[in-house]
């Protein structure tokens, strides 16, 4: 796959100053104005003014200009207008109206963190206090993992991402949603059928489950009303999660331990149903696991 990551998300909100303050507290590095960076991904969030909360732009990284040209060709076959200037392709998603920006960008190279030792029944990997409870540094998300959009025409939005941009489907939520990827992560975009077009949430990678909990605990200590849902672990994608709410009403997610799908590995998409957006596969419907919007 010539595509390899999300580069940046631009969200529109009516209350820019409050939202900027929130994401600075969330742990993203404020690099000026409404722009934020992650540790490994560089600038990955922009907050701009809009009458209501919405996804304004989603950026996708490609390896080279031939990859960008292939996206242009696919969009032409779909009949979706696009433009290419200085090697950057832009196209407007036909349902929600956000802009997709595809450009050559470096792949994210993440230095592995030291494995956190965990004790379990019959297994002792560490002695003394757990390292996670001794950490005192603030949470700093490593990268933007994915975003979730609501769309009034799921089929058209899925077609834009898969047939147009070249994303691959990892799993389905019945006929109500699709987890799609442009990298080796299980999903980079989840499109959900909805009565209105909107940005549901952005998701930010941290080192491990301890940092998921530490990040959320710090945010809730400042304002308990930010809590949405967590701590939990999804089935689709397998990631640990905790969801919080920003001042504009968007959800922001800390996550860790996402499923990885290398391009040379066979992956069979499953159809989940019986719960919200993260239930068990169709062959075994159940709501026994913690499940909710991704």
Block mean pLDDT (10 aa), the chain, length 294: 93 98 98 97 98 97 97 97 96 97 96 89 93 93 98 97 97 96 97 96 97 98 97 95 98 97 88 58 34 40
Alpha carbons 158 and 189: distance in angstroms, whole number: 10
The residue among 11, 6, 7 whose CA lies nearest residue 250 is 11
> 11 forms bridges with which residues in the sheet?
47, 55
Label each residue of 192-238 as H, E or C. EECCCCEEEEEEEECCCHHHHHHHHHHHHHHCHHHEEEEEEECCCCC
> What local confidence, expressed as pLDDT, does residue 1 receive?
67
Map out the domains of the chain with their CATH numbers. Answer: 3-107+141-272 (3.10.180.10)
- pLDDT the model gives residue 263: 80
- The pair of structure tokens assigned to 266 is 């066979």
Rounded CA gap, 65 and 10, in Å? 23
Sign of the CA dihedral running 147, 6, 32, 214 = positive
């Amino acid at each position: 796959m010539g595509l390899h990551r999300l580069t940046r998300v631009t969200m529109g909100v009516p209350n820019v100053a409050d939202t900027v303050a929130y994401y600075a507290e969330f742990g993203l590095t404020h690099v000026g104005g409404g722009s934020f960076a992650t540790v490994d991904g560089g600038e990955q969030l922009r907050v701009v003014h809009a009458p209501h909360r919405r996804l304004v732009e989603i950026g996708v990284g490609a390896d080279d200009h031939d990859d960008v040209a292939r996206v242009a060709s696919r969009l032409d076959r779909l009949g979706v207008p696009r433009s290419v200037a200085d090697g950057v392709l832009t196209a407007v998603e036909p349902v929600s109206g956000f802009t997709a920006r595809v450009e050559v960008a470096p792949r994210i190279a993440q230095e592995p963190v030291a494995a956190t030792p965990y004790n379990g029944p019959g297994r002792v990997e560490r002695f003394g206090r757990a390292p996670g409870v001794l950490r005192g540094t603030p949470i700093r998300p490593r990268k933007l993992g994915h975003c979730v959009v609501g769309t009034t025409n799921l089929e058209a939005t899925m077609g834009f991402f898969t047939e147009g941009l070249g994303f691959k489907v990892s799993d389905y939520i019945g006929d109500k949603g699709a987890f799609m990827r442009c990298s080796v992560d299980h999903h980079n975009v989840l499109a959900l059928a909805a009565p209105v077009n909107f940005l549901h949430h952005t998701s930010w990678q941290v080192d491990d489950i301890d940092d998921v909990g530490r990040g959320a605990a710090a945010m809730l200590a400042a304002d308990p009303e930010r809590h949405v849902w967590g701590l939990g672990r999804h089935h689709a994608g397998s990631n640990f999660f905790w969801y919080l709410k920003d001042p504009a009403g968007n959800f922001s997610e800390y996550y860790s331990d996402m499923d990885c799908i290398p391009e040379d590995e066979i992956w069979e998409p499953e159809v989940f149903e019986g719960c919200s957006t993260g239930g068990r596969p169709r062959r075994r419907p159940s709501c026994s696991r913690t499940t909710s919007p991704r």
